[in-house]
Copies of this chain bind each other. A is one copy, B any other.
């Protein structure tokens, strides 16, 4: 491996945008060298869906797989970044032109990434995967999908439908990716979620590296 990896994870800090109603994020220094302790030590309280994270099937599908059953191949390997033109939602009609193949790992770079969303308040009108596009991705048989905001489904529509169409068909979901600097094309993706047992999601870290074709 060379060193051309790009971090596509959002910084986790109080004040970052969180899904409305989700538990807040708190960091507490339970030990601090500045107060005379031998070391500095942080305790965190956070939702599994804070910042860059993954959803397991259990998030929206009862009695289904949890995070510790995540297969490494789901989000480690070749991936494609697709630029979405529609400024409102990702729809099947736009995806048809991209020749999506079975087993692909697909990341959508939308208008969400035109702004530094990780530093702004939560935006209810983020670009999301509409139900028709989610069902199309399931028909295509992709392996995993990543989006550049906090949910694959919309705030006002398709939140349940899109999650169910993806998770119910074995597609692992990456959310909260930072794709502002990422051009469309072929990459190597490494997205690693924490190994939280019996959880429906987990905070994750993701990096990308451009595939240079000869």
Q: Give A contacts to B, CB under 8 Å.
A: 1, 3, 5, 7, 9-13, 22-23, 27, 30, 33-34, 38-49, 51-52, 58-60, 62, 68, 72-73, 76-78, 159-160, 163, 188, 190, 192-201, 203-207
Contacts and interface: CB of A to CB of B under 8 A. Distances in A.
A105 to B, nearest CB: 11
23 contacts: A5-B72, A7-B72, A10-B195, A12-B194, A13-B196, A13-B198, A23-B43, A27-B196, A34-B62, A38-B60, A39-B60, A40-B59, A40-B60, A41-B47, A43-B45, A44-B46, A44-B48, A51-B195, A192-B192, A192-B206, A193-B205, A194-B203, A203-B203
Contacts of A159: 38
Contacts of A199: 27, 42, 44
A194 B202 CA distance: 11
